[in-house]
Amino acid sequence: MSNKRILMIVAMCCILVCVIFLMPFPAKLINIIIYLSMGLATGIYLIKSGSKANAQKDVSINDLKRELAKLKLELHVTSNKIWAVSEQLQINLDENNGFAQQVYAQTEEMANLNAMFNEKIHETVTEVREMIRLLEESRNTTLELESLGINSETILETSKSEILEIVSIIREIEATFRITADYMDKLSDASKNIEKILETVSHIAKQTRLLSLNATIESARAGENGKGFAVVAGEIQKLAKESEKSVEEIKSLIAAINREIAGVHKTVTENGIKVEKGVKSAVNIENKLGRIHESFHDLLAMAKKIIFLSETEARDASDVVSKICEVENLIGVAEESVESVKKAVFKQMQNIMEVAEMGSRLNDASKGLMELQDNSELEHLISESSEHSNKINDTFMLIRELAELPHIKKMDRESHRAELSRFIQNNDFIEAVWSNDAKGRFLCSIPEAGIANAKIRDWFQKSIQGEEFCSKVYISAITKSPCLTLSVPVINEDGVIAGVLGVDLKL
């Protein structure tokens, strides 16, 4: 019966008592008897209903106690999970915060590099345009060179023709000189023949003079008869002397002519040699002009090739400028994108810091929940008997052997799953088995782990330092029942602690 109903009944009784006292005595007596009967009945009813309510209350209290105990276990498991999640969240947030700061720094550096790159692109465009201008100037210079080459080639052709004509004239002069030399040789021979004739005439004159002398002598002997003959002899002698004198003069003249002929012959010979040298030089000049003409032809071909290459390079450079301008525009867009990413990363970093603060508060709240727990009632579940000690020692031996397996030392998920599955099947007193890496993450857990990260657990903190650990009785996050955890470190082939191997014993 509720308190409200009891108060109502008491109030009604008080009202009835007051009414009875206000009534006359006979009626009061009758009423007292009636109301005593009613009060007795009411009292009996109240006693029965009160005892029934107490029984129901005891049942409700026991139910509440069971619910409270269950809620306490749930609270224990949930608080452990919240603590584990908050620890893992804190770790992830720290990593994400560091990563975000690194990304922000790299984004800022990327923005600076992008600006520098954009500046270099501007410089490159300017230099390429300057190169195009120089190529245009080179092309114009090459065109002028080609024009000069064509003019020079024309001049060379004309010069070559004129030199060939000069060579022809020189060859004709050479032939004329040779004919002149031949005539001079013939004239020299004629002079020599005249000298011989003159010698003969001189000899005849001498003989005539001797004959005239003999005639004079003979005419003198003859006397008067020889006077006429003497006159003739004198005239003949006089003629002979004049002949000798004329012969001598002619000989002197012919000697002078021979000397002049010799000088002319010498000069003609020297001129012939010079003409021959001139012909050879003219031929050499002709050959050199031919080579120069070929060189000019090659030079013109190279000039045309240079013009073609200059035009091609100018076109390519123009294309490069166009592409670079496109890249420049893209860099501008990328710069805006980088700036947007930078702002987004900065905002994300601030959000991560806010989430980290909330994670820290969640961690504090989970620690507060852990402090509310009372595990003293769990201590009686395990005794200090030799049976439990032997089971613990045997289990330690088993998990030590398991931790020494090569597949376990490699810290491979699939290998761990295969070995741990085989281990829990062969040992029915093992409730759960798992393995963690050096950061507390679960490589394998059979059954599935109830917490995200094991860094909050004492067994992980001790074993990752190289110790073997046996926990106190606590509520398992896997089975939500009291359990006892044993853990050992996993040491890899290099002698470094790579993780932790743990089991839960059934209680």
CA distance 23 to 36: 16
- Output 37 or 331, whichever has higher pLDDT: 331
For residue 63, give the H/E element and its range: helix 25-222
Indicate the range of 281-290, 405-414, 457-466 predicted with least confidence: 281-290
Name beta bridge partners: 484.
505
Which pLDDT belongs to residue 41?
A: 61
Q: Kindly report the number of other CB atoms within 10 A of residue 58's CB atom.
A: 10
DSSP H or E run through 488: strand 482-491
- How far apart CA 423 and CA 435 sit, in angstroms, is 12
What is the spatial distance between Cα 87 and Cα 452, in angstroms, rounded to a whole number? 9
Q: What is the pLDDT at residue 488?
A: 92
User: Could you give the percent of the chain with pLDDT greater than 70?
Assistant: 69
> In the predicted model, is pLDDT for residue 440 greater than 80?
yes
Give the model's pLDDT for residue 221: 73
Q: Looking at the predicted structure, is the pLDDT value of residue 25 above 50? A: no
Per-residue pLDDT at 498 exceeds 80: yes
Return mean pLDDT, the chain.
74
Nearest to 236 by CA among 214, 264, 269, 267: 214
Q: Please answer whether residues 354 and 89 qualify as being in contact, where contact means their C-beta atoms are separated by less than 8 angstroms.
A: no
Q: Which residue has the higher pLDDT, 242 or 62?
A: 242
Least confident piece of the model among 201-205, 318-322, 431-435, 477-481: 477-481
Q: Give the N- to C-terminal CA distance of the chain in Å, as an integer.
A: 44
The 3-class SS string of 302-321 reads HHHHHHHHHHHHHHHHHHHH
Beta bridge pairs of residue 491: 497
Q: What is the predicted pLDDT for the residue at 188?
A: 76
pLDDT of 28:
45
Q: What is the mean pLDDT of residues 165-176?
A: 78
CA separation (Å) from 24 to 16, 19, 28, 249?
A: 14, 10, 6, 228
For 391, 461, 474, the CA distances from 427, given in Å and listed in that order, are 11, 26, 21
- At 264 the three-state DSSP class reads helix
Cα(231)–Cα(349) distance, integer angstroms:
164
Task: Look at the block and give the residue holding tokens 């269950």.
Answer: 70
- What contacts 441, CB < 8 A, 6 or more positions away? 453, 454
pLDDT for 82 beyond 50: yes
How far is residue 272's CA from residue 266's CA, in Å, rounded to a whole number? 10
More confident residue, 434 or 174: 434
Confidence of residue 383 (pLDDT cuts 50, 70, 90): very low
Confidence of residue 26 (pLDDT cuts 50, 70, 90): very low
pLDDT at 490: 92
Max mean pLDDT among 89-93, 155-159, 349-353, 493-497 falls in: 493-497
User: What is the enclosing helix (H) or strand (E) of 437?
Assistant: strand 430-437
Question: Where does the pLDDT of residue 480 fall: very low under 50, low under 70, confident under 90, or very high at 90 and above?
Answer: low
490, 466 Cβ separation under 8 angstroms? no
Q: How far apart are alpha carbons 34 and 31 in whole angstroms?
A: 5
Report the C-alpha gap between 498 and 411 in whole angstroms. 7
Q: Which two tokens stand for residue 109?
A: 């550096």
Q: pLDDT tens digit string along 30-40?
A: 555 555 556 55
Between 163-172, 180-189, 210-219, 390-399, the lowest mean confidence (pLDDT) is in 210-219
Segment of 29-33, 143-147, 491-495 carrying the highest mean pLDDT: 491-495
Dihedral, CA of residue 130, residue 134, residue 139 and residue 140, to nearest 10: 110
Cβ atoms of residues 490 and 403 within 8 Å: yes
Cα separations in angstroms, 271 against 82, 411, 420? 126, 111, 122
Going by pLDDT thresholds of 50, 70 and 90, the confidence category of residue 3 is low
Classify residue 328 by burial, with Cβ atoms within 10 Å: 0-12, 13-18, 19+: middle
* pTM > 0.75: no
Please say if the pLDDT value at position 69 is more than 70: no
The hierarchical CATH code for the domain 382-507 is: 3.30.450.20
**From CA 37, how far away is CA 45, in angstroms rounded?**
12
Q: Which residues pair with 200 in a beta bridge?
A: none
| pLDDT at residue number 366 | 60
489 has a pLDDT exceeding 90 = yes
- Residue 87, token pair as written in the block: 């620890």
More confident residue, 94 or 377: 94
- The torsion of the CA quartet 186, 187, 193, 195, rounded to 10 degrees, works out to -150
pLDDT at 500: 92
For the cut 70, the answer to whether the pLDDT of residue 300 exceeds it is yes
Cα gap 471→484, rounded to integer Å: 6
Residue 347 CA to residue 104 CA, distance in Å, equals: 10
Structure tokens at 497: 């602690």
